[in-house]
Amino acid sequence: MEPSASAQQLDYFAGDWNLEGEFKQSPFGPGGKCVEKEHFYWLSKDSFLVLHSDWTGPFGNGATLGVLGIDPEKKFYTLDAFESNGTSEHWTQGTVQHNIWVWTGDERVGSMILKARYTITTLTPTLYTVKYETSLDGQQWTTTMEGKATKIVKTAETGG
Protein backbone atom coordinates (compact mmCIF):
# COMPACT_ATOMS: atom_id res chain seq x y z
CA MET A 1 0.00 0.00 0.00
CA GLU A 2 1.30 3.46 -0.91
CA PRO A 3 1.58 5.82 2.09
CA SER A 4 -1.05 8.56 2.20
CA ALA A 5 -0.05 12.21 1.83
CA SER A 6 -0.62 12.61 5.59
CA ALA A 7 1.70 9.71 6.39
CA GLN A 8 4.30 11.08 3.98
CA GLN A 9 4.31 14.30 6.01
CA LEU A 10 4.95 12.32 9.22
CA ASP A 11 7.88 10.61 7.48
CA TYR A 12 9.83 13.85 8.01
CA PHE A 13 10.41 12.74 11.62
CA ALA A 14 11.60 9.17 10.83
CA GLY A 15 15.18 8.67 12.00
CA ASP A 16 17.34 9.84 14.87
CA TRP A 17 17.32 13.35 16.37
CA ASN A 18 19.15 15.24 19.11
CA LEU A 19 16.95 17.78 20.87
CA GLU A 20 18.29 20.54 23.12
CA GLY A 21 15.94 22.84 24.94
CA GLU A 22 15.17 25.00 27.93
CA PHE A 23 12.31 24.56 30.37
CA LYS A 24 10.96 27.74 31.90
CA GLN A 25 9.98 27.71 35.56
CA SER A 26 6.27 26.83 35.56
CA PRO A 27 3.54 24.85 37.35
CA PHE A 28 5.34 21.77 35.94
CA GLY A 29 8.46 22.49 37.98
CA PRO A 30 11.83 24.20 37.84
CA GLY A 31 13.44 25.69 34.78
CA GLY A 32 16.64 24.44 33.20
CA LYS A 33 18.27 22.84 30.19
CA CYS A 34 17.07 19.57 28.71
CA VAL A 35 18.63 17.14 26.25
CA GLU A 36 16.78 14.37 24.45
CA LYS A 37 17.86 11.62 22.06
CA GLU A 38 14.90 10.70 19.84
CA HIS A 39 14.45 7.68 17.59
CA PHE A 40 11.38 7.64 15.30
CA TYR A 41 10.50 4.58 13.22
CA TRP A 42 7.47 3.32 11.33
CA LEU A 43 5.33 0.61 12.90
CA SER A 44 4.17 0.13 9.31
CA LYS A 45 4.05 2.70 6.54
CA ASP A 46 0.81 4.69 6.44
CA SER A 47 -0.11 3.83 10.05
CA PHE A 48 1.91 4.86 13.11
CA LEU A 49 5.28 6.43 13.69
CA VAL A 50 6.79 5.22 16.98
CA LEU A 51 9.07 7.39 19.15
CA HIS A 52 11.56 6.13 21.70
CA SER A 53 13.48 8.83 23.52
CA ASP A 54 15.81 9.18 26.45
CA TRP A 55 16.02 12.56 28.11
CA THR A 56 17.65 14.48 30.89
CA GLY A 57 16.53 17.80 32.28
CA PRO A 58 15.51 19.79 35.35
CA PHE A 59 13.16 16.93 36.36
CA GLY A 60 15.93 14.31 36.24
CA ASN A 61 16.40 11.54 33.69
CA GLY A 62 13.74 9.54 31.92
CA ALA A 63 12.39 7.93 28.80
CA THR A 64 9.37 8.38 26.56
CA LEU A 65 7.44 6.01 24.31
CA GLY A 66 5.33 7.94 21.83
CA VAL A 67 3.05 7.08 18.93
CA LEU A 68 2.18 9.54 16.17
CA GLY A 69 -0.69 8.75 13.85
CA ILE A 70 -3.58 10.06 11.83
CA ASP A 71 -7.27 9.99 12.70
CA PRO A 72 -8.68 9.44 9.19
CA GLU A 73 -12.26 10.36 10.15
CA LYS A 74 -11.47 13.60 11.96
CA LYS A 75 -8.49 14.46 9.72
CA PHE A 76 -6.27 15.24 12.71
CA TYR A 77 -2.81 14.00 13.61
CA THR A 78 -2.62 12.24 16.97
CA LEU A 79 0.22 11.92 19.47
CA ASP A 80 0.18 9.66 22.50
CA ALA A 81 3.19 9.78 24.83
CA PHE A 82 3.95 7.64 27.86
CA GLU A 83 6.65 8.85 30.25
CA SER A 84 8.88 6.78 32.53
CA ASN A 85 7.63 8.91 35.46
CA GLY A 86 4.16 7.39 35.04
CA THR A 87 2.49 10.29 33.24
CA SER A 88 0.93 10.21 29.81
CA GLU A 89 -0.25 12.72 27.23
CA HIS A 90 -2.93 12.22 24.61
CA TRP A 91 -3.03 14.83 21.85
CA THR A 92 -5.93 14.25 19.46
CA GLN A 93 -6.11 17.48 17.47
CA GLY A 94 -2.85 17.85 15.57
CA THR A 95 -2.71 19.93 12.41
CA VAL A 96 -0.02 20.86 9.93
CA GLN A 97 0.07 23.86 7.64
CA HIS A 98 3.13 24.25 5.45
CA ASN A 99 5.98 23.68 7.92
CA ILE A 100 4.14 24.25 11.22
CA TRP A 101 2.74 21.34 13.22
CA VAL A 102 0.43 22.14 16.16
CA TRP A 103 -1.07 19.71 18.68
CA THR A 104 -3.54 20.94 21.30
CA GLY A 105 -4.94 19.19 24.33
CA ASP A 106 -5.38 19.24 28.09
CA GLU A 107 -2.60 18.72 30.62
CA ARG A 108 -3.10 17.76 34.26
CA VAL A 109 -0.81 19.45 36.78
CA GLY A 110 -1.73 18.23 40.25
CA SER A 111 -5.43 18.99 40.57
CA MET A 112 -5.40 21.62 37.78
CA ILE A 113 -6.22 20.95 34.16
CA LEU A 114 -4.47 23.33 31.80
CA LYS A 115 -4.82 23.82 28.07
CA ALA A 116 -1.63 22.80 26.31
CA ARG A 117 -0.17 23.50 22.87
CA TYR A 118 2.83 21.77 21.31
CA THR A 119 4.25 23.40 18.18
CA ILE A 120 6.95 22.04 15.87
CA THR A 121 8.30 24.21 13.06
CA THR A 122 10.31 22.31 10.46
CA LEU A 123 13.08 24.58 9.17
CA THR A 124 15.15 22.22 7.01
CA PRO A 125 15.13 18.47 6.39
CA THR A 126 17.47 18.14 9.38
CA LEU A 127 16.32 20.87 11.79
CA TYR A 128 13.11 21.70 13.62
CA THR A 129 12.18 23.92 16.55
CA VAL A 130 9.75 23.00 19.29
CA LYS A 131 7.68 25.09 21.70
CA TYR A 132 5.44 23.84 24.49
CA GLU A 133 2.89 26.27 25.94
CA THR A 134 0.20 26.14 28.61
CA SER A 135 -2.87 28.26 29.33
CA LEU A 136 -5.59 28.47 31.95
CA ASP A 137 -8.19 29.75 29.50
CA GLY A 138 -6.95 28.77 26.02
CA GLN A 139 -6.45 32.46 25.18
CA GLN A 140 -3.32 33.63 27.01
CA TRP A 141 -0.38 31.25 26.56
CA THR A 142 2.80 30.85 28.61
CA THR A 143 5.86 29.21 27.07
CA THR A 144 6.93 26.26 29.21
CA MET A 145 9.70 24.86 26.99
CA GLU A 146 11.51 25.82 23.79
CA GLY A 147 14.20 23.98 21.88
CA LYS A 148 15.58 22.73 18.62
CA ALA A 149 16.20 19.28 17.23
CA THR A 150 18.89 18.28 14.76
CA LYS A 151 18.65 15.09 12.72
CA ILE A 152 21.57 12.73 12.91
CA VAL A 153 22.55 12.13 9.30
CA LYS A 154 24.43 8.89 8.90
CA THR A 155 27.22 8.81 6.36
CA ALA A 156 29.84 6.23 5.40
CA GLU A 157 32.15 7.83 8.00
CA THR A 158 29.56 7.66 10.81
CA GLY A 159 28.44 4.12 10.04
CA GLY A 160 25.30 4.85 8.03
What is the per-residue pLDDT across 28-73, written as a single tens digit (0 to 9) for each? 678 999 999 999 999 987 789 999 999 999 989 999 999 999 888 8
Task: Say how far residue 46 (Cα) sits from the centre of its chain.
Answer: 19
Region of 15 please: left (phi>0), alpha (psi -120 to 50) or beta.
left
N- to C-terminal Cα distance for the chain?
27
In the chain, which residues have pLDDT < 50? 1
Predicted pLDDT at 159: 55
**Contact 64/43 with Cβ under 8 angstroms?**
no
> What is the C-alpha to C-alpha distance for residues 127 and 62, in angstroms, rounded to an integer?
23
Predicted pLDDT at 1: 39
Domains of the chain: 5-151 (2.40.128.20)
Predicted pLDDT at 160: 54
Reported pTM: 0.88
- Give the helix ranges, DSSP H, for the chain: 5-10
Predicted pLDDT at 6: 74
Predicted pLDDT at 26: 76
